[in-house]
Structure 1
Amino acid sequence: MSSDNKPTASEPPASDSNLSKSFADRLTFPADGKSSSNGDSSNPTKFNWADEVTTPIDDSKKSAGMEPKDGEKEKSSLGDAQVDGANIYIGGSSLQEPEFDVNVKLADLQADPHNPLFSAKSFDELNLRQELIQGLSVMSFHKPSKIQERALPLLLMNPPRNLIGQSQSGTGKTAAFVLNILSRIDLNTDQPQALVLAPTRELAKQISNVCSIMGAFLQEAGLKVTEAIPNPAMRGQQYRGQVIVGTPGTTMDMIKRRQLDGKGIKILTLDEADNMLDLQGMGDQCKRVKALLPRDVQTVLFSATFPPEVLDFAGVFAPNANQLTLEVEKLTVKGIKQMYLDCDSDEAKYNALVKFYGLMTIASSIIFVHRRTTAAEIERRMTAEGHAVASLTGALEGGDRDEVFNRFRSGEAKVLITTNVLARGIDVQTVTMVINYDIPETAGGKPDFETYLHRIGRTGRFGRTGAALSFVHDKKSWQNLMSICNHFGVEPTKLDTEDWDHVEKMLKQIMKNARNVVEGDGMEG
């Protein structure tokens, strides 16, 4: 589109002299370098995403006899030791330990958060079941991550206490809440005792898989993990198993229909809790589910983002909770090359997308759109033109969704078109490019900062580099993207498609970066 229709994020339409400036020049940053959006002052600097982010080499693997492949930089020893989200057997990513410190806020104001009792440097200190120690060893979990060091002692204390944890994707939060669950359940009965709620069936199935793998040595003793997601095969049947992982709507229906007995539930965990407690979304369903459970249930909330209004409600949902945060949470986007493409129209966006197809299939890519109809139309047109793509939206039935997502996770389908249904929590190691075909926005049409952060977090998983490309084509998309960039204090790179060879070379370099190598990372086998 012509630039005279594009205002800045915080100003009305600008003068002609301002309009001649580049996108980065028109981003507004206060003199102190802090973002001006929403009064946020947690971003001390402006990052230039054209700069390459490097990962320091750790010699620990060499001493263990694990040499990297040619051209492969080594990740931290903890990064090789853990996974978060999905496990390696279904194509998940290794954990990359952040450099940030964990902030602890204890509900007991008399307690000292720096007390060594509130930090565990090894899993042995936690007095876990021997079967769990075996499972952790097999999964190469050699030491707790920073969030686990602080979270696990608080989660495992008796009597149980509620916990609210804010930590970036890839810091080990999934393993933390799963270990708490598997430590507390009674295997002598298959009555439901722990309930994990997630916003989508895909994330629920991923968490269920983590529970099963981590608890593999408990299965002979009777461990059973059951998914409470829409499933015609479970119609009229009782949901049995100590651990139930599901979506709020289905779980609530099953409890009301007495197919799921909630009387014995002693742990309620919400993953992506900010999304789950959004009163405009699933917050009401989660409140109703909790109301059907025992009053003394241990409530655990984890998320990478917690907007202030949601955090206030979280404090009501999980009263008297201990709280954990990782400092500088806004730096989660570091290592992801953020770019934008200036298009003249919707049709120009589609033509650009088709031009990017060859680059998107170097590894795997996700194209995020705002509406299901857009996803269906792009899939139809690209398929008709001979391009292999898949589409996953809420319009698909459960079994079809599972089939599409399994094709994408296995690498059979390398380009996935989706709505925000896959914006959160999903871990597919091979994803190296995310395209914001539509800029994320709230129900009121405002820029959606949290969804942008979660979307681009599907690439650059756990310390690797990745590419995030946003399309703008009109005044609104331009303004929303600028607001998002201001909010996070970033300076994206404009792609000049007049020099396609340069664009292709730059993106190939990002996607083939050593930290994106998926074979032989020392964890297979």
Structure 2
Amino acid sequence: MSEPTSGGSLADRVSKPNTMNAQAESFQPKSGTSWADEVSSPATEEPPSASNLTATPAEDASAPVAQVDGATEPFGGSQLQEPEYDVNVKLADMQADPNNPLFSATSFEQLGLEDNILKGVMSMNFRKPSKVQEKTLPLLLMNPPQNLIGQSQSGTGKTAAFVLNILHRIDLSTEQLQKTPQALVLAPSRELARQIVGVVKVMGSFVPGLVVEAAVPQDAAARNRKIEASVVVGTPGTVMDMVRRRSMDIKGLKILVLDEADNMLDQQGLGDQCVRVKGMLPKNIQIVLFSATFPDNVVKYANNFAPNANQMTLQHQDLTVEGIKQIYLDCDSDQAKYDILVRLYGLLTIGSSIIFVKTRETALAIEQRMTAEGHKVVSLTGGYEGSQRDVIIDSFRMGHAKVLITTNVLARGIDVQSVSMVVNYDVPDKFVGGGKFVADPQTYLHRIGRTGRFGRVGVAVTFISNQGDWLKLMEIQKYFNTQMTKVATDDWDELEEQVTKIIKSSRAGSNMKDGANMGMQM
């Protein structure tokens, strides 16, 4: 299903790549006027000036070894960020005993995990449960199994929590059981599904007989294959198709996990598919929903999907990502947005960067135009074949491609350690009917969460080119009770200096942390 299109796609306006100066040196946006100047801001305080964009100090080399979550090391993944807030747990069973020694676990050994699982935990630099894991793992692992709805920031250990529960519950005592699906994880994109497969394989690397497979769209030759794995990670449509064709046996399934569950349940197509898949599964299956965001309108669907679930939630004001410097640039027009993007190219390639756009057409048009002007960029959207998407995302993970242009297909869950900047070329919004689009705070949060991963710092830049864009961005700012810095596009030296400081600080902190980790592992 293609991303929604709106009038005036860049593809409609750009036909000849050579109409732009390759370096865009002559571009100077009109100063003195701003969309922010024309309408009073909903925020109660003036945004800080660009001079307040100071870099975060690098972490002390003596810091304890961090946990790893999201993508694993071979996939270029990042490390865990411990939040300062307390997680809130709502128990479905009012008789649950908070004095039970497993009510909150301060060590993995307390959880009764097998030695082979603990070895995998330790191999991933997990030394003790994160705050999220302290609360969720005892609830996930208790018997009889109970459903769980879990919400927490990116990089706080959600993936590891549901993977540990899976490894703990599956039975691999016979060869037949090793080939029988017992746990199913659904993710909204093939890229996230492949990433989760990597986490399961690494965390379960010491578990004898563990077989993990991805159920994502395949070419015609592989489409009729039979799934023979104890853990299956896939996208809802492909899983539903495989179950219908009886190429995946579901009778032995014990656990169903929805990662990025709010997105899965909120989108009409994905939500319908998830409900249908669930309807095909055994009735006594344990259902686990995890996401960084659960907007109010989705909570009801989540409760229906995972009835009588224990819940771990956060206030949305606590969800903004610490360490990400959020700035926005006023642009006079869509053409000005492109010109400024070209000028940003040098900053985009200090580390790696992701540029988020609204439509596939815009992604393709920008890629073609920047490539024609000598800039090395790649794009990834739902319009590409699966094998092409795998090659592109793997190339980006390994650093062969530094700048990735994409739609919301990569807004969620993807963990690439080197990403130091995210650009919202188009302000994230969602269609609400009647030809109206409104601000989409959840997508904004997930997008910018691709940088500043797990304790590092990063930069999120949002372009606005009209009053509607500015109003949506101010609504997002108000929703998260945060401050975004307006940076004048005619003060390019100041912008470049501050952004460079932030990115270099991030890389220095990363190197010091990784060095400390290596020293403590030796």
TM-score, normalization by structure 1: 0.86
Deviations 1:321-374 (A, max 9, x none): 011124665343232111111111111110100000001000000000000000
SS in 1 for 2:400: coil
- 2:42 alignment partner in structure 1: 28
Provide the identity percentage. Answer: 59
Larger mean Cα displacement after TM superposition, 283-292 or 490-499:
490-499
Is 1:339 equivalent to 2:346 in the alignment?
no
Cα distance in 1, alignment partners of residues 498 and 293 from structure 2: 31
Select 1:223's aligned residue among 200, 205, 210: 210
Deviation at 1:311, TM superposition (A): 0.8
* Contact 1:73–1:515 (Cα < 8 Å) also in 2: no
Larger mean Cα displacement after TM superposition, 185-194 or 288-297:
185-194
Cα distance in 2, alignment partners of residues 21 and 462 from structure 1: 34
Is 1:201 equivalent to 2:190 in the alignment?
yes
Relative distance call for 1:129 and 1:350 in structure 2 (3 A) is same
- The residue correspondences of 1:347-366 to structure 2 (distance < 5 A) are 347-366=335-354
SS in 2 for 1:216: coil
Relative distance call for 1:308 and 1:91 in structure 2 (3 A) is same
Select 1:413's aligned residue among 395, 401, 409: 401
Larger mean Cα displacement after TM superposition, 435-444 or 389-398:
435-444
Is 1:511 equivalent to 2:503 in the alignment?
yes
- 1:458 alignment partner in structure 2: 450
- 2:203 alignment partner in structure 1: 214
Deviations 1:473-513 (A, max 9, x none): 12221221121122222332222232221111111001011
Larger mean Cα displacement after TM superposition, 307-316 or 510-519:
510-519
Select 2:160's aligned residue among 175, 178, 181: 175
* Contact 1:48–1:490 (Cα < 8 Å) also in 2: no
Select 1:239's aligned residue among 227, 237, 240: 227
- The residue correspondences of 1:112-261 to structure 2 (distance < 5 A) are 112-113=97-98, 115-187=100-172, 188=174, 189=177, 190-218=179-207, 221-232=208-219, 233-261=221-249
SS in 2 for 1:299: strand
Amino acid at match of 1:268: L
* Contact 1:464–1:516 (Cα < 8 Å) also in 2: no
- 1:367 alignment partner in structure 2: 355
Amino acid at match of 1:214: M
Amino acid at match of 1:437: Y
Deviations 1:384-417 (A, max 9, x none): 0000001000000000000000111001100000
Amino acid at match of 1:343: C
Deviations 1:29-50 (A, max 9, x none): 46xx8xxxxxxxxxxx999994
Deviation at 1:262, TM superposition (A): 0.9
* Contact 2:102–2:111 (Cα < 8 Å) also in 1: no
Deviation at 1:81, TM superposition (A): 2.8
* Contact 1:225–1:242 (Cα < 8 Å) also in 2: yes
Larger mean Cα displacement after TM superposition, 450-459 or 225-234:
225-234
Select 1:501's aligned residue among 490, 493, 511: 493
Relative distance call for 1:294 and 1:24 in structure 2 (3 A) is farther
Cα distance in 2, alignment partners of residues 143 and 402 from structure 1: 33
Cα distance in 2, alignment partners of residues 212 and 450 from structure 1: 30
- 1:481 alignment partner in structure 2: 473
Relative distance call for 1:286 and 1:76 in structure 2 (3 A) is farther
Is 1:304 equivalent to 2:318 in the alignment?
no
Is 1:472 equivalent to 2:464 in the alignment?
yes
How many equivalent residue pairs? 476
- 2:75 alignment partner in structure 1: 90
SS in 2 for 1:362: coil
Relative distance call for 1:481 and 1:281 in structure 2 (3 A) is farther
Deviation at 1:84, TM superposition (A): 1.1
* Contact 1:369–1:436 (Cα < 8 Å) also in 2: yes
Deviations 1:144-203 (A, max 9, x none): 001111111110111100000011101001000000001111112110000000000000
Deviation at 1:519, TM superposition (A): 4.0
Q: RMSD of the alignment, in Å?
A: 2.3
Deviations 1:61-81 (A, max 9, x none): xxxxxxxxxx6644852xx33
Relative distance call for 1:21 and 1:327 in structure 2 (3 A) is closer
TM-score, normalization by structure 2: 0.87
Select 2:366's aligned residue among 366, 372, 378: 378
Relative distance call for 1:22 and 1:440 in structure 2 (3 A) is closer
- 2:421 alignment partner in structure 1: 433
Cα distance in 2, alignment partners of residues 119 and 449 from structure 1: 31
* Contact 2:43–2:474 (Cα < 8 Å) also in 1: no
Cα distance in 1, alignment partners of residues 398 and 284 from structure 2: 41
Deviation at 1:114, TM superposition (A): 5.9
Cα distance in 2, alignment partners of residues 420 and 150 from structure 1: 31
Cα distance in 1, alignment partners of residues 38 and 85 from structure 2: 28
Cα distance in 2, alignment partners of residues 317 and 24 from structure 1: 45
* Contact 1:52–1:335 (Cα < 8 Å) also in 2: no
SS in 2 for 1:118: coil
Amino acid at match of 1:120: A
* Contact 2:186–2:258 (Cα < 8 Å) also in 1: yes
Cα distance in 1, alignment partners of residues 314 and 107 from structure 2: 20
Deviations 1:200-226 (A, max 9, x none): 0000000000000000011xx211000
Relative distance call for 1:456 and 1:508 in structure 2 (3 A) is same
